[in-house]
């Protein structure tokens, strides 16, 4: 499955490099949703919420009411997860809170089938809090023990995120071998070859910068998705 991404900051659709530097702005949120209409699921990330700088709740509610959306960014409590699901989120993406007792509470609140755990890796280690803080463990270390609390993993290769330089297919192969849960790859996916290589190992592709810059053609992607 190909999953286009809508990242929100200050009410606008943006793309960041390495989660820090704004590289570009996209069209209005509903216009992006229209462009992505051929794809069965959209990934919506509230970057403001992830960084603790407010949230884009009204936009997320609007998007989630019109498409099947997996929603992430700042989901650190059962109440926020429940609120997003009530607003129409198909699934919620939990990052920082996945490494706290809150994960079990979130899974209990909305059901593990609605939870995707984000495993964001930089320099080989999991990073949290908007990718600003490194932990001491790897995705491979933790993926097995997080399985009971989710139905899938969003695994971002932060080292290449937004840089249009390809991704680390070998890392995704190791993760695929470590879990039977659904895996979605993100970070540096730049070519149709990358997407096909991931599909060959049963890994979904979440696409951002390569779509927004036109490096990947939406019509071609839609044909692949069909």
The catalytic residue positions are: 7, 120
SS3 readout for 138-174:
CHHHHHHHHHHHCCEEEEEEHHHCCCCCCCCHHHHHH
Measured N-to-C along each axis, helices 169-178 and 192-200 cross at an angle, to the nearest 10 degrees, of: 20
The residue with tokens 């929100």 is: 8
Compute, in degrees rounded to 10, the torsion defined by CA atoms 133, 54, 6, 166: -20
Q: Tokens 């069965």 — which residue?
A: 40
Q: Radius of gyration (Cα) for the chain, nearest Å?
A: 16
CB 96 within 8 A of CB 128: yes
How far CA 67 is from CA of 48, 62, 216, in Å, comes to 21, 9, 22
Those residues whose C-beta lies under 8 Å from the C-beta of residue 18, and which sit 6 or more positions away, are 131, 158, 161, 162, 163
> Rounded to whole angstroms, how far apart are CA atoms 199 and 7?
23
């Amino acid at each position: 499955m190909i999953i286009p991404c809508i990242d929100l900051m200050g009410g606008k659709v943006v793309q960041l490099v390495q989660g820090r530097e704004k590289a570009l702005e996209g069209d209005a949120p509903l216009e992006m949703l229209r462009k992505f209409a051929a794809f069965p699921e959209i990934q919506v990330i509230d970057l403001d919420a992830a960084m603790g700088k407010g949230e884009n709740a009204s936009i997320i509610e609007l998007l989630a009411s019109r498409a099947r959306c997996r929603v992430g960014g700042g989901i650190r409590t059962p109440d926020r997860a429940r609120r997003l699901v009530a607003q129409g989120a198909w699934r919620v993406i939990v990052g920082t809170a996945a490494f706290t007792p809150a994960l079990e509470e979130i899974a209990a609140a909305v059901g593990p089938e609605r939870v995707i755990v984000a495993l964001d890796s930089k320099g080989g280690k999991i990073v949290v809090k908007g990718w600003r803080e490194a932990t001491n463990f790897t995705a491979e270390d933790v993926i097995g023990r997080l399985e009971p609390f989710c139905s899938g993993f969003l695994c971002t290769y932060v080292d290449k995120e937004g840089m249009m330089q390809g991704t680390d297919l070998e890392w995704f192969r190791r993760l695929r071998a470590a879990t039977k849960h659904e895996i979605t790859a993100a970070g540096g996916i730049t070519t149709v070859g990358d997407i096909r290589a991931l599909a060959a190992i049963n890994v979904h592709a979440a696409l951002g910068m390569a779509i927004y810059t036109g490096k990947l053609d939406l019509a071609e992607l839609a044909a692949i998705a069909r």
